[in-house]
Copies of this chain bind each other. A is one copy, B any other.
């Protein structure tokens, strides 16, 4: 299996993350991608390619232009306003406010476009996010062009929390959504996105919620108990033309692999019935039993097992990297899925 990877991921190197009321070193750090690419190489998964440059058109196909402009210009605006260091939203359009206008002030714009405070804005984030979507798009084209049946986009920063016009949960551009739309724009009629990250793919759901040309399925920690807390319930099944094309599988704290696998099998059956032209897997390995911020119990071997099961779909498949914060074991867990797929 070929891997697409860019060293530019390192440009996203925030100093701080707000976690349980304190600033800590970010869980989502450059070392994650370094460990994964090390495992790809050491274990001989296959060739590693540089991404092509796709520019902004495929980003604009799923994200709001004002949001993209915000991400591009924010750090300049922040520093021009005299603020130092990294930026977190101080307030946001809360449930008790109408947000009828987008503020002019840099902190107001930040709050408007943010969906969480765990994720700071920092210098280099824009460039890293641009390279990350190029990684996903290049992997997608490897499969779309018929050269490969499966490919791995080693994206960083991740993408599945990024919504049409909001960043957060360590995500800026929604790489999986951008890739799915790109596949549709290149002639696919239907794409399925299977999100196996520990967290609900709230951004991906939101982007495609009223559409039937993308089937979205997410296995994740119940939002009653974990981030993103305010989306990802089982009752969210799509709306309008999208009704029946969104499937959430929330699982409780401590859920075993057997519980998780039962949901995966349901999801795979739904994908099979949908018969997509391509499957995009939002691959987060924060389902691992020793992940520091998550509560599932998957072991190293379970990752091999579910990769094998996803492969049984027999569909052209692109894996795009999402989360996983047990950093020293993120390489083995990620490549276990990919080797499982190939086995």
Contacts and interface: CB of A to CB of B under 8 A. Distances in A.
Given A91-B117, A103-B223, A229-B103, A96 B203 contact: yes
Interface string A79-121: 0000111111111111111111101110110011011111010
Interface string A205-237: 010000000000000000111111111010110
Given A108-B223, A111-B230, A95 B84 contact: no
Contacts of A206: 96-97
Assembly stoichiometry (copies) = 2
Contact of A105 (B95, B112, B224, B233): B224
A26 to B, nearest CB: 13
Interface stretch (A15-23, A40-48, A277-285, A332-340): A15-23
A279 to B, nearest CB: 24
A91 B22 contact: no
A298 B249 CA distance: 57
B83 A20 contact: yes
Given A21-B120, A224-B101, A229-B107, A166 B94 contact: yes
A52 B19 CA distance: 40
A19 B84 CA distance: 11
A246 interface: no
A164 interface: yes
Contacts of A93: 94-95, 230
Given A20-B83, A97-B231, A91 B118 contact: yes
B21 A97 contact: no
Q: A19, A98, A107, A236 — which one has the most chain B CB atoms within 10 A of its CB?
A: A98
Interface of A: 18-23, 83-101, 103-105, 107-108, 111-112, 114-118, 120, 163-166, 168-169, 202-203, 206, 223-231, 233, 235-236
